[in-house]
Each structure stands twice: as C-alpha cells, then as structure tokens.
C-alpha cells in the first residue's frame, strides 16, 4: 500500500453519514425553540394594528410601543443568572424550560384583554430569551463535529426567519386570540422533539460523569465509531480549563477570553447595527412611505420568506468561504444596499423628482439587503459565540452576549424610530449603512477563521495568538 494515501471505504462513508444525521437531527430539534422565540418576538408586527383597531379600547399607541421593548429589558435583567442555571441544570434541561415559558406567554396572549396581560406575556418571553440565546449556540457547538458545525452551526437563524414568516402570515389572516392558540403547537412540538435528545458530553464531563459522557457521544455518533480519541480530547481540554478560574471578570482579565469576548461582542453589535431588527419591525411602514401599491401585509410576507430561504443557503455559503470572508462580504453588501436605499429616499423626500415609477424599489432593496444579511451576518456571530469561548467560560460569555443582543435590539429600534420621525427615512438608512461599512473593516482585520477546527484546537490557537486570519 502506498504510504500517505488514505482509503475511505463505502462502509466508512455510510458510518460518517449516519453519524452526521444524528447530529443534524439534534440540531434541528433544539432549534425548534428558536422558531418559537422568533414567533413571539415578531408577534407585535401583525398584532399591533389589531390592538389599535378598536377591539382593545384601553390600549393606546404608547402602550403598544412597549411590547417590543419589554422582552429585551427582562432578558438583560435576567442574564447574570444564566451561568447558574447552565451549571446547575445542564444544557438540555435549561433549553427544555424554554417550552414552559413560551406556553405561559402564548396563553397570556390568547386570554389578555388589557395591556397588563400582554405586558406580562412579554415578561415570560423575555425570560425564555435568556436561555435561548445563551444556551442554544453552546449546545450546538458541543454536540457537533467541525464539519457538521460548519454547515449547521448557523441553523438557528434559519428557524428564526421561518418563524418570522409563519407569524406574519398567520397573524395577518387570524385574530389575536386564534393566532395565539394555534401558536401553542410550536413549544409543545419543541418539547416533544427535544426531550429525546442527549445532553452534551461536555456537561457530563464537567460533572465528572464519564459513563454518561460516553453514552452521550455514542448517541451523537455512530455506535460502531471509535469515540475514544474524541472523548480523550474533550477530557484533556476540560481538565486544562478546570485549573483556570471561571469568574465573570475573567472574560476581560484573561487575555484569550478578552480577545474572544471582544470579537463576539463586536460581531453581534455589528449584526444588530446593520439594521435588521428595525427593518423587520418597520418594513410595513417603509413600504407605506414608499407609496407602494403592493399590499403591506403581502410585502412583509415576501420579505420574511425571502429572508428565510436565503438563510437556508447561508450556512452553506459560510462553510464554503469560511467565517471571516462570509461576514466581510455580507457586511459590505448590506452597507452598499442600504446606501442605495438612502439615496432613493433622499431623492423621494428632499427633491421634487417623481419617483412613483420606481415605487417598487424599497421592496427590491430590502430583499437584496436581507439576502446580503443572510449569507454571513445572520449566522457567523452566533457560530463564533459557540466556538471561541473556553468550556468554563461559556455560561458567563453567553450571559454577556444576551445583554449585548438585547441592548442592541432596544437601541436600534428606538434609534430607527427617532431618526425616521425626526429627519426622514434616508437618515436611519444612512446610519446603518455607515455601521455596516465600519463593521466590514473590523471583520476583515480581526475576525479569526475557525473553519474546520475542533473547539479544542480553537482554544489552543487563541491562547497561542495564532488563530489564522
């Protein structure tokens, strides 16, 4: 046999394919909670017009303005406790608790008659977001091989955008109560699908339960696959990290942690300040201002489905071009599209030129923006969150990232509304365009390439300051 040549038998290929399928199944099951979170996050979009239609006379414009704001505030307040829940209950059961919070939130939506019922519903949803954004990327990173993680690590955003399409469509045709009772199917389905999935081997090894870790790996890999090398590699990584301190302050005091924190913090901030959350909430208003003949509800559905389909291709794009180049290309394209849209609104609002013959342009522009967002910005920050932090720091890091996401969502939504009402639509589009271009420069210079590397390799490289860029 020629030395240096590896022959892969057909049987080996089948084993690898079967092993990948078991991981993909678990990833899809856990991401049903992201679908449910998206449904509740985007619930105000089709519901606010109905709340103000007269069926709820006690609810005012001021009241509904709090509906998108309450969940991020609750998430920020609850995030410091996330590390305790992750350590005490593990990844799986922390995620399963999301189903309970979603069920309570949806029942309150279905039965609420006053603003307080809706506000309380948003509080329960805000608590669930602590666990979803914090725990889901960790679970996916810890159960998957580098190849599967590269292709499926960004699946969360696929489920998020399909959830957005689902609730926009359902909420457009059904009243609030009917919509809510139908939505109960989502958390129940998530619970039934995910309760059968294994806990991560990392959690068991952190607890000193090696036998359970072996069982977990066997459930996630082919039963005939030799899991001993992988198990030993995880054990070595955990033993090395246990001797390190795992306090919240170590996110910034330890250099490797600080580098990871800065990278993930800034990529998530860039993601949010590219404007996507604001465009999701206000796209119907944008279409109205553009003078669209197209029904605003239909236009919103078109945006949701294009974003969802584009995000299906996002992980494949990221797997082909790598994390770094995907987010660089994505931020550049987002900035360019937003700049063009800003120019359109300057011409429309600040000049006497007739733009009625291209009143379709904002819809096409937003579709181009959402496609650009999907190929990198939508998935890479969450992939990096699951990859760059050491095992003993993931709980603290996820809590910090929860706060980052929620504060960014609140800030961008309020800023968009203020700039839009005070100056015109071209100002927020210009602002988000500038943020995207600045984000592109940062990502090009500082985001590391982690494609094809195990979590242990990434940690070693971070500590050696030799992560490939």
The full set of domain ranges for the chain reads 17-197, 249-469
Residue 18 is predicted with a pLDDT of 52
pLDDT digits (tens, 9 = 90+) for 42-75: 898 788 888 887 788 788 877 887 888 888 889 8
Residue 240 is predicted with a pLDDT of 72
- Averaged over 183-195, what is the pLDDT? 96
* Contacting residues for 235 by C-beta, under 8 A, at least 6 apart: 205, 210
Question: How many C-beta atoms lie closer than 10 Å to residue 378's C-beta?
Answer: 28
Q: Indicate the pLDDT class of residue 6, thresholds 50, 70 and 90.
A: very low
Residue 284 is predicted with a pLDDT of 66
The alpha-helical segments, DSSP class H, found in 351-393 are 361-374, 380-388
Which of these, 439, 442, 462, lies nearest to 450 by C-alpha position? 462
- In order of 77, 123, 129, 132, the CA distances from 126 in angstroms are 10, 5, 5, 10
Residue 413 is predicted with a pLDDT of 79
Report pTM: 0.74
pLDDT digits (tens, 9 = 90+) for 369-418: 999 998 999 889 988 887 888 777 877 787 788 788 888 888 887 788 78
pLDDT digits (tens, 9 = 90+) for 287-330: 766 665 656 677 778 888 888 788 778 878 888 888 899 999 99
Architecture of the structural domain at 249-469: Up-down Bundle (1.20)
Residue 102 is predicted with a pLDDT of 97
Residue 291 is predicted with a pLDDT of 62
Which of these, 455, 287, 440, 284, lies nearest to 372 by C-alpha position? 440
Measured CA to CA, the distance from residue 59 to residue 62 in angstroms comes to 8
Q: Which fold has domain 17-197?
A: Growth Hormone; Chain: A; (1.20.1250)
pLDDT digits (tens, 9 = 90+) for 212-244: 988 988 888 877 777 888 888 888 877 776 666
Is the per-residue pLDDT at 1 higher than 50? no
pLDDT digits (tens, 9 = 90+) for 72-96: 889 888 887 887 888 888 899 999 9
Q: Indicate the pLDDT class of residue 466, thresholds 50, 70 and 90.
A: very low
pLDDT digits (tens, 9 = 90+) for 84-142: 888 888 899 999 999 999 999 999 999 998 899 999 999 999 999 888 988 898 898 88
**How far is C-alpha 139 from the chain's CA centre?**
14
Tokens describing residue 232? 């030993």
Measured CA to CA, the distance from residue 239 to residue 210 in angstroms comes to 13
- Please give the span between the terminal C-alpha atoms of the chain, in angstroms, as a whole number: 37
3-class SS at 279? helix
Residue 2 is predicted with a pLDDT of 39
pLDDT digits (tens, 9 = 90+) for 417-462: 788 878 988 999 999 999 999 999 999 999 988 887 777 777 777 7
- In order of 33, 172, 280, the CA distances from 177 in angstroms are 21, 13, 23
Tokens describing residue 408? 């960014």
Measured CA to CA, the distance from residue 70 to residue 124 in angstroms comes to 10
Query: CA 408, 413, 414, 417 torsion: positive or negative?
Result: positive
Q: Please determine whether the domains at 17-197 and 249-469 fall in the same fold group of CATH.
A: yes
User: Are the C-beta atoms of 335 and 437 separated by less than 8 Å?
Assistant: yes
Residue 17 is predicted with a pLDDT of 54
């Amino acid at each position: 046999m020629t030395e240096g040549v590896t022959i892969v038998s057909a049987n080996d290929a089948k084993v690898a394919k079967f092993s990948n399928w078991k991981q993909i199944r678990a990833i899809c099951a856990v991401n049903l909670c992201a679908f449910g979170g998206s449904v509740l996050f985007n619930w105000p979009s089709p519901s606010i017009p109905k709340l103000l239609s007269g069926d709820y006379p006690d609810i005012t414009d001021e009241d509904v303005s709090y509906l998108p704001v309450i969940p991020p505030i609750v998430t920020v307040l609850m995030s410091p406790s996330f590390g305790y829940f992750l350590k005490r209950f593990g990844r799986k059961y922390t995620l399963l608790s999301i189903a309970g919070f979603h069920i309570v939130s949806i029942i309150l939506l279905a039965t609420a008659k006053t603003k307080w019922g809706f506000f309380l519903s948003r509080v329960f949803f805000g608590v669930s977001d602590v666990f979803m954004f914090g725990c889901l990327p960790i679970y996916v990173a810890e159960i998957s091989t580098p190849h599967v993680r590269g292709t499926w690590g960004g699946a969360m955003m696929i489920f998020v955008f399909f959830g957005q399409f689902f609730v926009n469509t359902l909420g457009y045709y059904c009243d609030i109560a009917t919509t809510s009772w139908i939505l109960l199917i989502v958390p129940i389905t998530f619970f039934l699908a995910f309760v059968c999935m294994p806990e991560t081997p990392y959690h068991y090894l952190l607890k000193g339960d090696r036998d359970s870790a072996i069982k977990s790996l066997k459930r996630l890999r082919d039963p005939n696959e030799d899991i001993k090398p992988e198990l030993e590699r995880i054990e070595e990584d955990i033993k090395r990290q246990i001797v390190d301190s795992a306090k919240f302050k170590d996110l910034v005091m330890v250099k490797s942690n600080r580098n990871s924190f800065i990278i993930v913090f800034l990529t998530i901030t860039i993601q949010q300040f590219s404007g996507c959350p604001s465009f999701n909430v206000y796209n119907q208003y944008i279409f109205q201002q553009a003078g669209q003949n197209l029904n605003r509800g239909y236009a919103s559905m078109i945006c949701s489905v294009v974003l969802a389909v584009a995000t299906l291709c996002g992980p494949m794009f990221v797997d082909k071009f790598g994390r770094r180049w995907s987010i660089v290309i994505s931020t550049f394209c987002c900035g360019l599209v937003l700049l063009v849209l800003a120019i359109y609104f300057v011409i429309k609002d600040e000049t006497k030129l007739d733009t009625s013959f291209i009143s379709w342009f904002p819809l096409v522009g937003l579709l181009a923006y959402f496609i650009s967002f999907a190929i990198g910005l939508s998935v890479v920050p969450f992939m990096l969150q699951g990859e760059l932090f050491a095992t003993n720091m993931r709980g603290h890091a996820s809590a910090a990232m929860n706060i980052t996401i929620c504060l960014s969502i609140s800030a961008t939504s309020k800023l968009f509304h203020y700039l839009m009402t005070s100056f015109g639509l071209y100002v927020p589009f210009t602002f988000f365009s500038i943020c995207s271009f600045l984000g592109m420069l940062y990502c090009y210079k500082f985001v590391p390439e982690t494609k094809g590397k195990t979590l242990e390799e990434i940690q070693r490289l971070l500590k050696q300051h030799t992560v490939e860029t």
